[in-house]
Amino acid sequence: MIRFIARRLGQAAVIVAIVAAITFALIHLAPGDPFSAVLDNPNVSEKVRETLRAQYGLDRPLPEQFVRYIGALARGEMGWSFSHDLPVREVLATALPNTLLLMGVALVASFALGIIVALVQVARRGSIIDNVLGAISLFFFSMPDFWLAILALLALTYWLPIFPVGGAVDPVMHEYLGLGGRIVDRLKHLVLPALTLTLLASASVARYQRAALLDVLPADYIRTARLKGLTEKEILRRHALRNALLPIITLIGLSFPALLTGAFFIERIFAWPGMGYAVVNAIGTRDYPLVVGGVIIGSIMVTLGSLLADLLYAWADPRLRSH
């Protein structure tokens, strides 16, 4: 198992390095730079332009800039964010907890909701309830994340002003609230982005879990449980569900990149101050270090999520522990 983890961590390091190199090249080859608005101003002298480019190394060849960036990255430095006027490490350290909170809530809620919906469908298979839940799951499964986010924002902040429009907290009143009030304030701002991600992710979980449950129902141990007089609910809960969870464990690993990319768009729409919101804004301002730093952190999260899914799979299936 230790050799397996070490091998996967080595693979993850290679993947992160490749992603960082590709992102660095693409963002630098795109037209413009962080100082386009200043450098394109005819009133700015050529000397000022050369000074700004030289100060941040933008006048160097792209391979040399990449080597310098890798050297700084090896020392734990991710560069300077031009748009925030702060080190990239500080910007991401502030934004990452908000993204992890949003993704964590959405991950737990989506798998819980998806498994419950699948259990109801299988228990009522072939009925109207099964068909209706299947149609709803397909509807959310097919819906673009940004479109659902816009609908939720329009419906629950404008038509029915139940939740705040955006942000993580109330920018005016949060500091004056007590502990309980601050928690409630943060939860109210969390509901809409987390609900959007949950509905989108739970649809695929429900479809996968329903198929997995239907696959194990014809098994011999299920027929034995029926012969013992167990009810259908007991069979599903105590026997079928446990053996049908292996595909869901695989889906956990696949959900990390989906939730992360979905969080990028949803954070932007709901102005949730997470890593996705910071990176999307950085792309518009050509904030090279922040974009590359955000992509590196995102790729690390995805590879660690894949490793976690592999470990859970080995824990759930003893046959894989010896490999």
**121 touches 134 (CB < 8 A):** yes
**301 touches 104 (CB < 8 A):** no
Task: Walk along the chain (323 residues) and give the pLDDT tens digit of each residue.
Answer: 677 778 878 888 888 888 888 888 888 787 766 766 555 566 666 677 677 777 777 778 888 888 888 888 878 788 888 888 899 999 999 999 999 899 889 989 999 999 999 999 998 888 999 999 999 999 998 988 889 999 999 999 989 889 998 888 888 888 888 889 999 999 999 999 999 999 988 998 999 899 888 888 888 888 888 888 888 888 888 888 877 877 777 777 777 777 777 778 898 899 999 988 898 888 878 888 898 898 888 888 888 888 887 777 777 665 555 55
**CA separation for the pair 170, 172 (Å, rounded):** 6
Q: What pLDDT is recorded for position 321?
A: 54
Provide the 10 A C-beta neighbour count for residue 51.
11
**CA separation for the pair 218, 226 (Å, rounded):** 11
Per-position DSSP letters for 239-255, written without gaps between them: IIHHHT-HHHHHHHHHH
Q: What pLDDT is recorded for position 276?
A: 87
Give all domains of the chain, ordered by start, each with its CATH number.
2-87 (no CATH), 89-320 (1.10.3720.10)
**1 touches 323 (CB < 8 A):** no
Q: Hey, what are 105's tokens?
A: 């809530």
Q: What pLDDT is recorded for position 129?
A: 93
**CA separation for the pair 105, 112 (Å, rounded):** 11
Q: What pLDDT is recorded for position 196?
A: 93
Please write the tens of the pLDDT for every residue from 132-144. Answer: 999 999 999 898 8
The DSSP H or E segment spanning 86 is strand 86-87
**168 touches 186 (CB < 8 A):** yes
Per-position DSSP letters for 157-207, written without gaps between them: IIIS--S-SSSSS-TTTGGGS-HHHHHHHHHHHHHHHHHHHHHHHHHHHHH
Residue 179's Cβ-side half-sphere holds a number of Cα atoms within 13 Å equal to 0
